[in-house]
Amino acid sequence: MTSSEVERTPEIASATTDHGRHLEQIWKTAPGIAGFFSTVDHKAIGKRYIVTAFAFLAAGGIEALIMRAQLTGPSEHLLSPEQYDQLFTMHGMTMIFLYAMPILSGFSNYLWPLLLGSRDMAFPRVNALSYWVYLAAGLFMYAGFAIGAGPNDGWFNYVPYSTRPYDPGLNIDFYSLGMIFLGISTSVGAVNFILTVLRTRAPGMSIDRLPIMVWGTLTASAANLLVVPAVSLAFFLLWMDRQFETHFFDVARGGQPLLWQHLFWMFGHPWVYAIVLPAMGMVSDGLPVFCRRPLVGYTVVALSTVATMILGFGVWVHHMFATGLPNLALSFFSGASFIVTVPSAVAVFAWTTTIWLGRPVITTAFLFFSSMIVLFVIGGVSGFMTAAVPVDWQLTHTYFIVAHIHYVLIGINVFPVVGGLYYWFPKMTGRLLDERLGKWNFWTMFVGFNLGFLPMHLSGLRGMPRRVYTYAEGMGWDWLNLITTIGSFLFAFGVLLLFVNLVASLRRGRIAGANPWDAPTLEWSVSSPPPPYNFAVIPRVASRHPLWEDRLAEGGAVRSSVTRGMVLDHGRETIATTPLDGEPDQILKMTGDSYAPFVLTLGMTVLFVALLRHWWWVVPVSGLAILAALLLWLWPERELDQVAETRS
Amino acid sequence: MVPPVPESRRSNNLVIASAVFVVAPVTAPAQAETPLGYLRSFGAMAHAITPLTWGLLIISLVVCVIVIALVLGGIVLKRQAGHITAAIPLMRGGDGAGWVGLGVGISSVVLLGSMIWTVVVLAAINEPPSKPALTIEVTGQQWWWKVRYLSDDPSRILTTANEIHIPTGKPVRVELIGADVIHSFWVPLLSGKTDVIPGQTNVTWLEADRPGRYAGLCSEFCGVQHAHMGFEIVAQSPRDFEAWWNAQLKPAATTGSSVIARGATLFAYRCGACHTVRGTEAGGAVAPDLTHLMSRATIAAETLPNNVGNLSGWIANPQAIKPGTLMPTVYLSGPELNDIRSFLLTLK
């Protein structure tokens, strides 16, 4: 092969059965254990992300239920204070780091190449690496909990309480190293998403034709790339303080507790937007399908996604209004926190108008998507209240904030995700989820959630502080907590119904067909589940809604084509296009299955365990394993056009 | 935290309770159902904040009602029969941008107004309305509050714990010192929160209009007993406050029966490394000053009402009541416990 191989003019043809069989041979993953550990298929990785994230969701949910049992009434004795502290820390850490972002990475991993008309993500092996590292980091942090040394200083992990003099166990070491480890997964995943959207879209898919979910994940990924280093650094400094008595946070020797808070929230607040923007994108893409019309205000919604993130970089101090910073500085961050609401209002009114100007069909997915608008607004206005500094001085650290964060994270992440499951499960499995059970699923989750979390606003307004393992009677909180506990168990039952529906429908669900919802985007043009190569020929895109454009008279003279396009079957190939206009640029040779990502992850896991246990001699050994894995990974391959011919 | 003192226990006797079991020498104001509910206010800072809280709360509720009505209305009026999505024909539909613009426009005006209101309130409470009557240094530590009344006259400097008396009608400057980890100082009915951060001195101020007891608590997670790190602001008329201060400055009276004398000696020996009782040999500085223990309404940072039973239980086994508290279990025989308790009960 020569470089002309990637610069050749691709053959254009219609998809045939023979051609499909040929591609299947090229792209399919080996069966059994070998394939399991070596696959780089984005669909397999996406499903693993989703399953793993839901497993963590279940774990975090059980932790929450145990806490709610403790708080059912005043002065309960189910848990010791230390147990409670580990539980609320694990709950926060699990939901925010091990569920909320990975679940969205799962959907994006699964869907992006299908949405974009590509055969895989830009860097398939990096994709596999980001999953394995996520799993390893999650298990690493849970290992601490399993041996009774789970993180116990809250997910925000404020110093000096998290420094060695106050918290001497391994608890915070597990958390510090685990977060640095997880940061590797998030970062490489973010790079992959950004490069994928810039490079591997179908010809004709200019940036004004991207699904909003792609905008959401792209924006979130760019943010993650910028902010994850801040939190990795913070945890690294803390780990150094704890192991080697450096003084970054040691007040007695000039360390700064607020340094931690700045580094953490510079990361933490953008992260909050990063774990909702892709989910908002799911609603922007899914809701219109069930309203039988395009989204109202596509352009402003896409721009507001980006605007939210940019403004989101300037609001972190609203987590620190009570720390004694000068009021002038607080005014700036207060103003920014009010302004960041504007792009959210754009999305809310765009969705609402889409319902009004459409023909809504009441499916389970629609119920989850549309109810999200309401939950988003409730979580939004409580956030608006905390933007006002003096009001925040009252609200912060109370259950009002607990209510706020749950309306935001469950409302804008969990509800769209479950809606997204009802919407895309047929694509992933070939079978529809049961709609009858789905309605039960929705109503128990919706009623349970509001029953559980709406009263928390009032608990907070009545002064109930967060993170207390018990409370005295007579404060006006008793009945509110009782209702909250009942609601949370009902909500959990709703989630259980979802799991039941998933398992049952996987076996017995109605066969979906390629496009059960008559949806407009490219993923619905291929079979359900899609073949390993996604598209037999690379589609040509001429509008935002390739599968609707005939009926909507979109796209002008040129029409999208999913049946006739570039063949690209000289090995694993897809087309690279230009970043803005999506014009064909070059043939991409895609890497195949490899054990390297898995081996690399194993090497890193050993490294982190060695750092945790101070097995210093193991560190260079794991370093060698990591080096070996990287060599295996980067070894030039003839199939990838990386080996030059010396003789012609 | 302890619920507010019930009506029957309130006493009009001023300054110091006459009997050991009667605490709360001043009347509690309006803390009925919700002693920490900050939608009412009893002092200058809270008076400034509460209308803003209510204002934003009402705006928020109105926004929720409007959006819920819009979503529900759209669904109810526009819903299609059946649930087969593909059976409903597609439509290009109206542009709708005008509606989005209208909604965002109205929202922006409301946001801008709220922002200006916020800044105005923030400026108003930046400084106390008049020169503070006195400065109190409050040190937050796991899991109680050390309180020092500062004065230019060194003989008037007073150290106490967990119960902060202030004069009514005048702002009081509060300097917040962090001794170990981060805490947060919060008296919901009087002011907002200010974090207590080691390595920096944060300043806030308090003012109460009327005499009364106002519950306060640590509101930043600070370890296993964060849930039991309460305090109380006791607002008194300036005259009563002066009298209280003068009384607190006196050392403990050490005369009494042999039981009490034995108790004092035993206390100094067994408890004095941590606790101070002025006028005795107990001079420890790491735990609350107990010189006038029995003038306080509660023990263990608002964990228990201060009475003989609770005091005995607390001394005998603090870890059972407040697991993880830094007060160790000091093994005392029955008679020893009785002696120490008898001594403590004289610390009025």
A91-140 pLDDT tens trace: 999 999 999 999 999 999 999 999 999 999 999 999 999 999 999 999 99
Q: Is B184 on the interface with A (CB under 8 A)?
A: yes
By C-alpha distance, the chain B residue nearest A344 is B104
Distance between first and last Cα of chain A: 10
Cβ within 8 Å of B, A 27-86? 80-82, 85
- pLDDT tens digits, residue range B75-119? 999 999 988 999 999 998 888 999 999 999 999 999 999 999 999
Cβ neighbours of A392 in B, within 8 Å: 192
Judge contact between A151 and A144, C-beta under 8 A.
yes
The average confidence (pLDDT) of chain B is 90
Identify which of A349, A388, A463 has the shortest CB distance to residue B99. Answer: A349
ipTM: 0.94
Identify which of B85, B197, B203 has the shortest CB distance to residue A289. Answer: B85
- pLDDT tens digits, residue range B307-336? 999 999 999 999 999 999 999 999 999 999
Q: Which CATH superfamily is domain A32-508 in?
A: Cytochrome c oxidase-like, subunit I domain (1.20.210.10)
Q: Give the best residue of A84, A248, A292 to mutate against chain B (max B CB count within 10 A).
A: A292
Between strands B230-236 and B163-167, the pairing is: parallel
Q: How high is the pLDDT of residue B60?
A: 98
Judge contact between A581 and A206, C-beta under 8 A.
yes
Query: Is the link from the previous residue into A257 a cis peptide, with omega within 30 of 0?
Result: no
Q: How high is the pLDDT of residue B31?
A: 53
How far apart, in whole angstroms, are the C-alpha atoms of residue B339 and residue B267? 9
CB-CB under 8 Å, B181 with A461 = no
CB-CB under 8 Å, B56 with A327 = no
CB-CB under 8 Å, B227 with A81 = yes
pLDDT grade, residue A641 (50/70/90)?
confident
Higher per-residue confidence, A636 vs B195: B195
Residue A380 has pLDDT above 70, yes or no: yes
Q: How high is the pLDDT of residue B13?
A: 35
Tokens linked to A528: 């359900």
pLDDT grade, residue B24 (50/70/90)?
very low
How far apart, in whole angstroms, are the C-alpha atoms of residue A96 and residue A103? 10
Q: What does the radius of gyration of chain B's CA atoms come to, in whole angstroms? A: 27
pLDDT grade, residue B256 (50/70/90)?
confident
Inter-chain CB pairs, A–B, below 8 Å: 307
Identify which of A322, A339, A394 has the shortest CB distance to residue B49. Answer: A394
**Is this prediction's pTM over 0.90?**
yes
Q: Is B65 on the interface with A (CB under 8 A)?
A: no
By C-alpha distance, the chain B residue nearest A370 is B71
Q: Tell me what the mean pLDDT of segment B154-175 comes to.
A: 97
pLDDT grade, residue A647 (50/70/90)?
low
DSSP three-state, residue B136? strand
Residue B149 has pLDDT above 50, yes or no: yes
By C-alpha distance, the chain B residue nearest A80 is B323
Compute φ and ψ for A318, nearest 5 degrees: -70, -5
Cβ neighbours of A251 in B, within 8 Å: 178, 198-199
DSSP three-state, residue B172? strand
Cβ neighbours of B123 in A, within 8 Å: 327
Identify which of A154, A338, A548 has the shortest CB distance to residue B115. Answer: A338
- pLDDT tens digits, residue range A211-251? 999 999 999 999 999 999 999 999 999 999 999 999 999 99
How far apart, in whole angstroms, are the C-alpha atoms of residue A348 and residue A301? 9
The average confidence (pLDDT) of chain A is 95
Residue A648 has pLDDT above 70, yes or no: no
Q: Tell me what the mean pLDDT of segment B270-281 comes to.
A: 95
Q: How high is the pLDDT of residue B11?
A: 37
- pLDDT tens digits, residue range A178-212? 999 999 999 999 999 999 999 999 999 999 999 99
Residue A479 has pLDDT above 90, yes or no: yes
Among positive and negative, which fits the CA dihedral A453, A458, A463, A464? negative
Beta-strand ranges (E) seen in B53-208 are 134-141, 144-149, 158-161, 163-167, 172-178, 183-186, 194-196, 202-206
Among positive and negative, which fits the CA dihedral A376, A379, A382, A387? negative
- Residue extents of the structural domains in chain A: 12-30+518-589, 32-508
Q: How high is the pLDDT of residue B23?
A: 40
Residue A3 has pLDDT above 70, yes or no: no
